[in-house]
Amino acid sequence: MLSFSEYLTEKASPKIFNRLVNQLKAKGLPPAKAYATANKKLKEYGIKDEKGNLTAKGKKRNKMSAESRAKDREAKRQGKSVKKFTYSKKTNRATLKNK
């Protein structure tokens, strides 16, 4: 496991990681806990490998915007096209567009 200072170097650079850390801190987690939780979750999701580097999936997701990731998650969950969803920046969620 990386130390807190290691997170602040190149391991913290992927924007997908930084965004998750900021979301966790906004929910009240202390910085060290937010970094550890983000790292653990990204490893569970296959975004990072055991060394803390981005996997191929992680590199692909890291290039996507938060909107694209939210729409992609929901489209996969519902088995529909990404184009059928709208994004809420406030909630970081995608919902079906009104017809």
Question: What is the torsional sign of CA 59, 16, 80, 97?
Answer: negative
pLDDT for 38-59, tens place per residue? 999 999 999 999 998 999 999 9
Residue holding tokens 């567009």?
A: 97
pLDDT for 71-82, tens place per residue? 999 999 999 999
Threshold 0.75, pTM exceeds: no
